């Protein structure tokens, strides 16, 4: 079930991106809880799994921290469309995993 959007106001670090709105979803899968965190601005989504006995606030904190790390990683990666080499090569066919 989706939860109310949360903010990153508890984080005081200036160097990490703080999501404005984060949607959190909890789903029990057997004895584990699947926690999905989605950044509302970018649509970036991360998933963590934890024990069903863990505190919901702890699982939320871990998911939001993982989302922050992914946002920071996405900001530091160069845009593939900006690469000169990719402009001269024909587009690749198929899927890349």
In-domain check, residue 1: yes
Is 24 exposed, middle or buried (CB count within 10 Å of its CB: 0-12, 13-18, 19+)?
buried
pLDDT value for 26: 97
Number of domains forming the structure of the chain: 1
Segment-wise mean pLDDT, segments of 10 residues, the chain, 97 residues: 47 52 95 96 95 96 95 82 60 67
In-domain check, residue 83: no
d(CA 48, CA 36): 7
In-domain check, residue 84: no
**Residue 43: left if φ>0, alpha if ψ -120 to 50, beta else—which one?**
left
In-domain check, residue 88: no
pTM for this predicted structure: 0.63
pLDDT value for 19: 64
pLDDT value for 77: 81
Domain span at residue 18?
1-76
């Amino acid at each position: 079930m989706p939860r109310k959007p949360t903010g990153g106001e508890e984080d005081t670090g200036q160097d990490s991106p703080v999501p404005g709105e984060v949607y959190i979803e909890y789903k029990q899968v057997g004895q584990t809880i699947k926690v999905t965190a989605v950044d509302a601005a970018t649509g970036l989504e991360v998933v963590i799994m934890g024990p069903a006995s863990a505190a919901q606030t702890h699982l939320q904190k871990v998911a939001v921290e993982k989302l922050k790390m992914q946002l920071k990683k996405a900001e530091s990666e160069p845009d593939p469309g900006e690469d000169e080499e990719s402009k001269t090569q024909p587009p690749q066919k198929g899927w890349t995993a």
